[in-house]
Amino acid sequence: MRSGRRSGGWARANRPVPAAALAEVLRVTDGFDLAGVDPADTPGFAGGRRDAEQSFAEDGALLSTLQERLWAGGVAGSRRSLLLLVQGMNTAGKGRVLRDVAAAVDPRGLRVASFAAPTAKERTHEFLWRVRRCLPGPGELAVFARSHYEDVLVARVHHLVPRATWQRRYTAINRFESSLVLQETVVVKIMLHLSAGEQSTRLAWRLQHPDLRWRYDPRDVEERAWWNDYQEAYQAALTRCSTEAAPWYVVPADRAWYARWAVRRLLVGELTAMGLEPVPTHVDVQAEVARLTQG
């Protein structure tokens, strides 16, 4: 009774904001200040966890339909595709986003990539090389956990390359993303914004569960010493690379249920804005049904 009543009431009186309005609230625009965003906040959402879960499930059905249209379009010759790129501190929920997308779409039209520290071979190439190899093909939806932004985040924080090198990369990234958009790839960039306190809780959780322990790396704790440097590097990446063609969205991530809801809603919003329709076919439906009935 409880969930039915509350959700029903909420659904009528307290609809979640439309995807376009959510995007407006979360988009990085002039004067953005990451330090001013509370990771525990739930912007654009008035209900509680249970309401978010219901809305999340409803958006899952929408995502499924829209992704099939995107994919069917690709099969029919369209070049359109979508790249969802997720950044965030360790345990922010990047892997969860991969799973949430995969749970709702046809895996034949999905491409996931996870970018760890570059291999020796990857390091011999320019920084965008490995990313280019994982871009979505026609009709595909690609999801990146980490991305070329690592090359202006960890590379900047730990001085992996000279200052002049990472400085140049912001412009290189903007041109790269702008070229993708011109080639009919919608680029959606989301930062999952986590607090240091919540990260500590999540790392401890991993440690305490035998099935999650393999994901724990003692270096994750050492990285916490650079927390403020990372926030600065994020602030720079977010403000220098939030463009008209490929804006950044910052999603507070301390409440996993909110972050999962918001990411899916942003994704559904982008797919909706693409104006995808069922792919038209030239089949004579009545004649075919008749053939089937005879067969």
φ/ψ bin of 69: left (φ > 0), alpha (ψ from -120 to 50), beta (otherwise): alpha
- For a second copy, the binding residue among 25, 204, 245, 273 (CB under 8 A) is 204
Q: How far is the CB of 18 from a second copy (least distance, A)?
A: 22
How far apart are the C-alpha atoms of 232 and 22, rounded to whole Å? Answer: 25
Residue 75 CA to its chain's centroid (Å): 24
- For a second copy, the binding residue among 56, 144, 166, 216 (CB under 8 A) is 216
| CB atoms near residue 264 (< 10 Å) | 24
Alpha carbon distance, N-terminus to C-terminus of the chain: 49
Longest Cα–Cα distance in the chain: 73
Contact by Cβ (8 Å): 90, 199:
yes
14 or 137, CB closer to a second copy?
Answer: 137
How far apart are the C-alpha atoms of 196 and 136, rounded to whole Å? Answer: 33
6 or 206, CB closer to a second copy?
Answer: 206
Among 273, 145, 256, 140, smallest CA distance to 195 is for 256
- Note the helical H segments in the chain: 2-13, 19-26, 49-75, 94-104, 120-123, 129-132, 154-157, 163-182, 196-208, 218-223, 227-240, 256-273, 285-294
Q: How far is the CB of 103 from a second copy (least distance, A)?
A: 4
- For a second copy, the binding residue among 57, 221, 245, 273 (CB under 8 A) is 221
How far apart are the C-alpha atoms of 135 and 10, rounded to whole Å? Answer: 39
Supply 57's token pair. Answer: 């499930």
Q: How far is the CB of 53 from a second copy (least distance, A)?
A: 15
Per CB under 8 A, 278 contacts a second copy = yes
Count of residues that interact with a second copy, criterion CB under 8 A: 48
- For a second copy, the binding residue among 18, 213, 228, 245 (CB under 8 A) is 213
* Phi and psi torsions of 49, nearest 5°: -55, -45
Per CB under 8 A, 3 contacts a second copy = no
145 or 262, CB closer to a second copy?
Answer: 145
Q: How far is the CB of 239 from a second copy (least distance, A)?
A: 28
Binding mask 136-165 for a second copy (x = CB under 8 A): -------x-x--------------------
Give the range of 24-32, 33-41, 243-251, 275-283 binding a second copy by CB under 8 A: 275-283
115 or 249, CB closer to a second copy?
Answer: 115
Binders of a second copy among residues 94 to 113 (CB under 8 A) are 95, 98-99, 101-108, 110, 112
Binders of a second copy among residues 56 to 85 (CB under 8 A) are 65, 68-69, 72, 75-76
25 or 196, CB closer to a second copy?
Answer: 196
* CB-based contacts of 36, cutoff 8 Å, min separation 6: none
Q: Which residues bind a second copy (CB under 8 A)?
A: 65, 68-69, 72, 75-76, 95, 98-99, 101-108, 110, 112, 114, 143, 145, 200, 203-204, 207-208, 210-211, 213-216, 218, 221, 224-225, 278-279, 281, 283, 285, 288-289, 291-293, 295
